[in-house]
Amino acid sequence: MKAIIINRYGSANVLQYADVEKPSLKSDRLLIKIYASSVNPIDWKIRQGMLQFLTGYKFPLILGFDVSGEVVEVGDRVTKFKPGDAVYAYLSSIPGGAYAEYVAVAEQFVCLKPNNMTHEQAAAVPLAATTALQALRDAGEIKRGQKVLINGASGGVGTFAVQIAKAWETEVTAVCSTKNVELVKSLGADRVIDYTQQDFTKETEKYDIIFDVVSKRSFSECKNNLLSQGIYIALLPSPDVLVNSFLTSLIPGKKAKLFFAKASGKDLAELKKLIEADKIRSVIDRTYPLSEIAEAHRYSESGRAVGKIVITLESNH
């Protein structure tokens, strides 16, 4: 099968279009023919070698965590899926494996694809929307009627976080740049702060949850904007959040939490319900064929993407 591999860590130039063995099927797995995937920042962080302590030095590696496609074969212990099912999945093991024509996945990480989405739209969902859902629900303990601020509201995780927080019937303040204000309003944000014009940490407004998707503002900067039991969530480790997540866990009051998402078919099923109820949609900035993955990575690394960058497998369609 065709796949994008890396044989060493480095720039986008190390991504190679190659022929590799089709994955073999274990009894608890299903083989998915991939129609679309997407790029997440973790993909190019792995490619650059920033996660070598997890990915090691055994090459080649196939990157990519998001899959939308069709089941072509199932192992004898698989009970929920059959060949021909349209599915989407969040691959659980680092470095992924989605930049390929086929992937073998354990069934607990797979869900039937939302009926009202194309494969391209569905491929934008798994990692980013699962991260937003788990961060708000599990780390943020989100409740109806709360006030939630999303910093970095126009990116992959941010666009889903705004919609999920609204689906939870909270009052959402979204922070983004000037050019994305209208888009973020269209996702349901009650209030949008243009960070080029104003600094939310200098305001008197207080929130139950501050979800710093882009990890650009520290807990120390945000804590005056949290209510007495408010929770600050970051997705990237920094000395500030590491120290404060430990310190605030010891005492009552405001909390700082560093959050990492976990692949979950159950959460994909929860997202599917929200998608089919028209409460969540994918925002797709650009679509590239698999053969142009290097260009897609460069665009993701530029930090300019609005919503998601989707990869299509034209040979599989």
Contact assessment for residue 62 and residue 3, using Cβ atoms and an 8 Å cutoff: yes
Q: Look at domain 128-258 and name its CATH class.
A: alpha beta
Averaged pLDDT of the chain: 96
pLDDT in tens, 96-113: 999 999 999 999 999 999
pTM over 0.85: yes
pLDDT in tens, 156-201: 999 999 999 999 999 999 999 999 999 999 999 999 999 999 999 9
Q: What six digits make up the tokens of 260? A: 């990492």
Does residue 56 carry a pLDDT above 80?
Answer: yes
Number of CB atoms found within 10 A of residue 247's CB: 12
pLDDT in tens, 238-264: 999 999 999 999 999 999 999 999 999
Q: What is the rounded average pLDDT of the residues 302-306? A: 91
Give the end-to-end CA distance of the chain in Å, rounded to a whole number: 14
d(CA 63, CA 39): 9
CA dihedral 142, 139, 235, 15 (to 10 degrees): -100
Per-residue confidence at 54, pLDDT binned at 50, 70, 90? confident
**DSSP state letter for 178:** G
pLDDT for 317 equals 58
d(CA 30, CA 276): 24
CATH tag for 2-125+282-312 (out of 3.40.50.300, 3.40.50.450, 3.10.150.10, 3.90.180.10): 3.90.180.10
Per-residue confidence at 315, pLDDT binned at 50, 70, 90? low
Q: What six digits make up the tokens of 299? A: 């665009």
Domain borders along the chain are: 2-125+282-312, 128-258
d(CA 208, CA 284): 29
Q: Which of 233, 291, 293, 286 is nearest to 124 (CA)?
A: 286
pLDDT for 210 equals 98
d(CA 103, CA 81): 15
Beta bridge partners of 65: none
pLDDT in tens, 101-156: 999 999 999 999 999 999 999 999 999 999 999 999 999 999 999 999 999 999 99
CB environment 7-33: b (16+ within 10 A), e (fewer): eebeebebbeeeeeeebebeebbbbbb
Q: Which helix (H) or strand (E) holds 46?
A: helix 41-48
pLDDT for 252 equals 94
pLDDT for 303 equals 87
Number of CB atoms found within 10 A of residue 262's CB: 12
Q: What six digits make up the tokens of 218? A: 């520290």
